[in-house]
């Protein structure tokens, strides 16, 4: 099975590392591309050779939601901010719950069902 290419942009490096460590180490589902800076995120998205299936953005980067990608776009927000017009998830949850929630949204949007073993 092809891995899902996910770009995660979050200025909170500590939270980002926990999520990336789980998604990269505990699952065999994702190729994870993490970014803590707008510049590096923009550079990655602009490169048409980078295939991206999911873009997960912290609310601090929500102004970067763009039509430059065909990826499923998910906003990672504080619980109090969930309910905006895009698909949003509470970013303050355990990495495994967040990864599963991301996969559920991905499956709903694309019809590609993926399960994390374990």
Residue 20: what pLDDT? Answer: 92
The answer to whether 32 and 23 have CB atoms below 8 angstroms apart is yes
Residue 103: what pLDDT? Answer: 86
Higher per-residue confidence, 83 vs 16: 16
DSSP string of 1-46?
A: -PPEEEEEE-S-HHHHHHHHHIIIII-SSEEEEEESSHHHHHHHHH
Rounded to the nearest 5 percent, the helix, strand and coil shares of the chain are 40, 25, 35
Mean pLDDT for the stretch of residues 18-47: 88
SS3 57: strand
Residue 34: what pLDDT? Answer: 95
Across the strands, what pairs with 33? 7
Residue 35: what pLDDT? Answer: 94
Q: Which domains does the chain have, with CATH numbers?
A: 4-110 (3.40.50.10850)
C-alpha–C-alpha distance, residues 45 and 71, integer Å: 10
Residue 33: what pLDDT? Answer: 95
C-alpha–C-alpha distance, residues 62 and 22, integer Å: 23
- Summarize pLDDT for 47-100 with one digit per residue, the tens: 888 888 888 888 887 776 655 566 777 777 776 555 555 678 888 889 889 888
Mean pLDDT for the stretch of residues 105-109: 86
Looking at mean pLDDT, say which of 4-13, 76-85, 106-115 comes out highest. Answer: 4-13
């Amino acid at each position: 099975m092809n891995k899902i290419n996910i770009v995660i942009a979050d200025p909170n490096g500590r939270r980002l590392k926990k999520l990336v460590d789980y998604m990269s180490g505990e699952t065999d589902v994702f190729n994870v591309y993490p970014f803590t800076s707008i510049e590096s995120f923009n550079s990655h998205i602009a490169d048409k050779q980078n295939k991206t299936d999911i873009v997960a953005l912290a609310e601090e980067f929500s102004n970067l939601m763009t039509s430059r990608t065909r990826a499923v776009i998910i906003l990672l927000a504080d619980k109090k901010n969930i309910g905006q017009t895009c698909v949003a998830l509470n970013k303050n949850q355990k990495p495994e719950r967040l990864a599963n929630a991301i996969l559920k949204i991905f499956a709903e949007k694309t019809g590609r069902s993926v399960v994390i073993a374990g």
